[in-house]
Amino acid sequence: MPVCPCRVAPSPAAASGADAAHCPRLLQQSFKRLQDDRPQNLCEFSGKVLLVVNTASYCGFTSQFEGLEALNARYAKRGLVVMGFPSNDFKQEDVDARKTAAVCFNTYGVKFPMFTETRVRGADANPLFAELTRATGNAPGWNFNKYLVGRDGRPIAHFGSTTSPDSRTLVNAIEAALAVR
């Protein structure tokens, strides 16, 4: 399974015509899915509250996958989508995408969207993380940083690696974002 390039161009469908009118600029891009390497247009998540997380398979925070999946399951019907972006920026991700997929899907039972390995910080950060960093003023300092994005596609907040998925602060922010229509 090939690893996606660091930069992913906006998909033509997402960036043109009526789709662009209903899809926030932040989401007008595609990334390859971890489970099958097929591109997924992020505009599919337009109107949802997103929790965008940079992940790693061999990190002290990897067990957060369980809590992230619990959040996704708990709030999916209300409009939350957790999105995982494996990254080796901190040298804790496998170069073999199949091994990354096994950790996510088999070990932790992840059902939320996971994408292929990408860069999340610095000049080579993928466009999504580059914009999240710019908008919040916080680049990922380590694995399992969390960015909360509102239904309108605007970043709301950044939570560092030590903020667990069951943190009252994070859960309250998610519930507040879900309440906005």
* CA–CA gap between residue 153 and residue 120 (Å, rounded): 18
> Is residue 4 among the annotated active site residues?
no
Measured over the CA atoms of residue 113, residue 116, residue 121 and residue 125, the dihedral's sign is negative
DSSP string spanning 58-119? TSTTTTHHHHHHHHHHHHGGGTEEEEEEE--TTS-S-S-HHHHHIIIIIIS---S-BB----
Residue in 4, 6, 43, 59 annotated catalytic: 59
Which residues are designated catalytic?
59
